Chain A
Amino acid sequence: MSEIKESISKETVETAKSLETYKYGFTTDIESEKAEKGLTEDTVRAISKKKQEPAFMLEFRLAAFRHWLTMEEPEWPHLEYPPIDYQDITYYSAPKVQPKKESLDEVDPELLATFEKLGIPLSEQKRLSGVAVDAVFDSVSVATTFKKDLLKHGVIFCSFTEALQDYPELVEKYLGSVVPYTDNYFAALNAAVFSDGSFVYIPKDTTCPMELSTYFRINTEGSGQFERTLIVCEDNSYVSYLEGCTAPKFDTNQLHAAVVELVANENAEIKYSTVQNWFAGDPKTGKGGIYNFVTKRGKCAGKKSKISWTQVETGSAITWKYPSCILQGDESVGEFYSVALTNNLQQADTGTKMIHLGKNSKSTIVSKGISAGKSVNSYRGLVSIKKSAEGARNYTQCDSMLIGDQCSANTYPYVDVSNPTAQLEHEASTSKISEDQLFYCNQRGIGTEEAVGLIINGFCGDVFKELPGEFAEEATRLLGLKLENSVG
């Protein structure tokens, strides 16, 4: 028994050592094409021209840019960071491999190797895994797999750039319909300068035959990443979409300001899962790391539509992110399942908004925050029942776990109700891993580190069970790594 235990913990330690806290912290030596640093109207025009965009797109960008100039960066989040110099950022960076490849054989082998290292099933050999992948490298989509297979089912899955060329009318119809550029500071910035992203369109009565997935990677130092994802599900359709993110280690902070828009029409369902593992900065000094300011929102436009957000947030120096649902359709359903882990000097202010407009709309929020080290982890969530939302229901549960006595956990729920037939329930609790729990595990022969992993997994179980299989394993492993040596 003790032998096994020893070998397990030895293995864990070895793994941890080999990973050196952030295993994705390598850069790839690929020639890239970068825009000058700084942001003006000319930058915006240049990005649009470079991508040979239709006129409506340029207008959208310019309107967003002009609006952005009138806005102030939000102060309300519970986050501390030095002012961001928006003129010291490269707004466009792309691998110098053009044009987009039809087959993976043509993709720069160096790049492919990068994705291999990340464990992303991009290559043809991994076809059997049955996941279609759009890989976004810095700001540009470099490869999308399974495109043709999907098209047979009428499913469009491509980079945003391609979508603008091939399906401009669809993009024009839905772009900004859920997150208008006036929405917030970072959404406006994204609208002005976003360079690529993924586009998904599921036609009527179609269940997308495979999981769709995007991997984002920031590779160039000093570049910002501003991608935009748009997913539209027509009546009676279904899609499950996965998103993963990594970035190399740099000494400077990098800005990631993405926008994700989802539209679910009648009886459609979108399941959106994220495992976010951006570089969190140096564990001791906090130097470097990603500033992650993301606007994610879905509109349940049709009757009985459903949007489900599942996120595991483990990375970034700063996370500012509230995947939300506008429950417009009657009997529509919004879900938010989240694990947010912060360690060392990380800060997260994350949660969700559920806006109930439709009759008998339902929402569920399950948020698990884990803070360790000297980190600050805040849940911020709004449940708003508008007057029209007869019979709306919400259940919210947000639990925090603190590991060590130098971290903070905050809970800021907002509940606004304007309809008397609504029913809401909100529960929150704070706990630590108790000595009794650890002792119980130890007594049964489980080492402390494993025991912590076990208990954390139990704590997050309600969220992990919402993740697609492969992701659930990755999430479990990731949490274990992130918490290594956090408990004495």
Chain B
Amino acid sequence: MAVITMQNRPNKAHKIQPAPTPFELAVLSDKTQMDAQNSAITTIRETGKSRYQQLGFPTRRLEAWKFIDLKALQNTEFLPYPDNLATVNKADLAPYMIGGNTNASRLVFVNGRYVDSLSNTAGIPKSITAISLMLASREMPTELSALENIFDATTDAFAALNAATVEDGVLLSIPQQTVVDKPIQILLVSTGDSSAPRMASPRCLVELGQGAKAELVVECIGLGKTGAVQPTVNNTVIQIAARPEAELRMTLIQEARHEATAYSFTSTEAKLEANSCLEMTTVALRGGIARHNVQAHLLEEGAHCTLNGLNVLNGDTKVHHHTEIHHLAPACTSEQVYKSILEDQSMADFDGTITVARHAQKTDSSQMNRTLLLSEDAKTYTRPQLKIDADDVKCAHGATVGQLEEEQLFYLVSRGLNPEIAQCLLTFGFAEDVINRINLPLVRQYLESRVLENMGQSHNPKSCYASCTKIEKSACEIEG
């Protein structure tokens, strides 16, 4: 009787490494030479490279990447941007001036490199370190390396890839007890190129000293200047270290207007110490394939993290949100509200995990994902997950998918509103609910106008009811 040798459950570590793809070959070959002075950046690159080798290219068999089709990306040779390609001028950035204020504090990166002439650092208090990574690597390598070491083991392959290919970025350090009351904007602009597929890998390091407070607006924008018909990758990393009692409020906006396929990866990792607080809102607008990975580690007692998200998508935009909140200490709190408004063939995927470690008692955590499907061809996937190893915790999550609520519609209509207007109002209100959670009115207004601009005509209250002056005002802001 022939006995068949049964294969035991395969051990992941012994799986054969697949051959490198054209994508990997291109991005991992050292095309940019770093000078010897930039030893800190060189170290980041080396660490990133070896981390990437361990992680490998994410396949769709991994839960976190299940709904992301990267086949085309894998077969494309993305190259670093050449020097002096940038043709971005101040006028191009006019729509991105918060409150229309050209003098607001702003750090501008074009295709991954800092551009001083477009930036405005005059308003940033002197006590704050706000310099390019390139400069930091030369002038304060010890501090840079120390900060980098906090984030030495990313689990995200694209974050590792960012480290492996980084050319520039920003180091922002707010000293202890310093309060910055005006938002600092970091604009990460990519232009695309007509001659070759390009990849930019900006890297932002943010450190808040004990009791420091700051507000950041980070924008990843694909400008899509005419003629840039080759695909682009914008692979951004943001690393946040919050010391005890520090507070960071941050808005991350991502939008691509490229003609060709635009991939946008952002990976935000936050390490939160005792009683510190991160409130982050990720807003994804039109264009391309985007993945936002946010991982927050609540390291010490009393830390708090709010992750909110808003997708206002149309065309064939595909946006993936992957969040992980790790409760690693007792009495930490976290909260998540992610909402999507989907038109045309757009797709939104939310994959959020809350973990509660064995000793993280008295955790209080909630997570909510709501989706409005406004078109027959729109799709959504949602996976709100809980992994709980402590018993004295309050964790709740919820998800809804559907249309506007009948009762709300009736309420509005019963006050004399025309049903179409009521629908528009509720649709915008659905988005506004996330925007309203943002602290600074200036940022809220800015976001409102950006969101309205991204809403399709039939659902846009602006086009539905011109006499709503608040909305008119927003429209003026866009046009002006």
Contact = CB atoms under 8 A, between A and B. Distances in A.
A242 to B, nearest CB: 32
Given A417-B401, A425-B400, A428-B397, A408 B389 contact: yes
B4 A420 contact: no
Interface in A321-344: none
Interface stretch (B5-13, B125-133, B149-157, B257-265): B5-13
A167 interface: no
A440 interface: no
Contact of B358 (A405, A410, A420): A405
Interface in B56-85: 63
Given A402-B388, A430-B386, A40 B3 contact: yes
Nearest to A390: B376
Contacts, number: 132
Contacts of A428: 384, 386, 396-398
Contacts of A405: 358, 361, 390-392
Contact of A430 (B376, B395, B398): B395
Given A72-B7, A417-B401, A424-B399, A410 B384 contact: no
Interface in A407-459: 407-432
Contacts of B383: 412-415
Interface string A394-409: 0000001011111111
Contact of A411 (B4, B386, B400): B386
A411 B397 contact: yes
B394 interface: yes
A400 B10 CA distance: 31
A128 interface: no
A417 B377 CA distance: 10
Nearest to A426: B399
A420 B378 contact: yes
A426 B10 contact: no
Given A38-B1, A420-B403, A430 B385 contact: no
B361 to A, nearest CB: 7
Interface string B11-27: 01000000000000000
B381 interface: yes
Given A420-B376, A424-B402, A429 B395 contact: yes
B384 A413 contact: yes
Interface stretch (A6-14, A56-64, A81-89, A467-475): A81-89
B217 to A, nearest CB: 31
B272 interface: no
A75 interface: yes
Given A420-B374, A420-B403, A424-B401, A407 B6 contact: no
Contacts of B388: 400, 402, 408-410, 430
Contact of B400 (A385, A412, A424): A424
Contacts of B396: 427-430
Nearest to B371: A417
A389 B222 CA distance: 37
Nearest to A416: B381
A4 interface: no
Nearest to A429: B396
A415 B399 CA distance: 9
Nearest to B6: A86
A39 interface: yes
Contact of B373 (A403, A407, A417): A417
Given A75-B9, A412-B383, A430-B393, A422 B401 contact: yes
A83 B8 CA distance: 6
Interface in B344-379: 358, 361, 371, 373-376, 378-379
B122 interface: no
A42 B1 contact: yes
B436 interface: no
Given A87-B3, A428-B384, A431-B394, A413 B9 contact: no
Contacts of B10: 72, 75
A1 interface: no
A431 to B, nearest CB: 7
B387 interface: yes
Interface in B401-423: 401-403
Nearest to B347: A418
A73 interface: yes
A40 B391 CA distance: 47
21 contacts: A39-B4, A40-B4, A42-B1, A69-B4, A87-B6, A402-B390, A405-B361, A405-B390, A405-B391, A406-B358, A413-B382, A413-B399, A419-B376, A420-B373, A422-B402, A423-B403, A426-B384, A426-B399, A428-B384, A429-B394, A432-B392
Given A87-B3, A409-B386, 13 more contacts: A400-B386, A400-B388, A402-B390, A402-B391, A413-B384, A415-B401, A419-B373, A420-B378, A422-B401, A424-B402, A426-B382, A428-B397, A429-B396
